[in-house]
Amino acid sequence: MILTEVGCGCGAVYRCAESETLEGEPGQLKCGNCGAIVVRWLTAHKRVYRCVIAPDRGYPVVVPPPSP
């Protein structure tokens, strides 16, 4: 399994898990945020993409708990 990360121009980051053994199909990753084509691949390996950073959650606001 090969793990890589790829970022879209809009700030979203996707983690790719590519199998070296499972067969898949060439395809493309479309950004779920802005709809742009982030990655195209031609290898016939199984790939799974998962969004790890959405642009609106890239910098989470941490609210401190109220003091007692």
Q: Residue with structure tokens 């980051």?
A: 13
DSSP state at residue 56 = G
Q: Decide if residue 34 touches Zn ion (CB under 5 A).
A: yes
Selected range binding Zn ion among 2-10, 13-21, 22-30, 58-66, rule: CB under 5 A = 2-10
Give the residue, chosen from 18, 27, 33, 41, that forms a contact with Zn ion under the rule CB under 5 A: 33
Binding residue count for Zn ion, defined by CB under 5 A: 7
Contact residues for Zn ion (CB under 5 A)? Answer: 8, 10, 12, 31, 33-34, 36
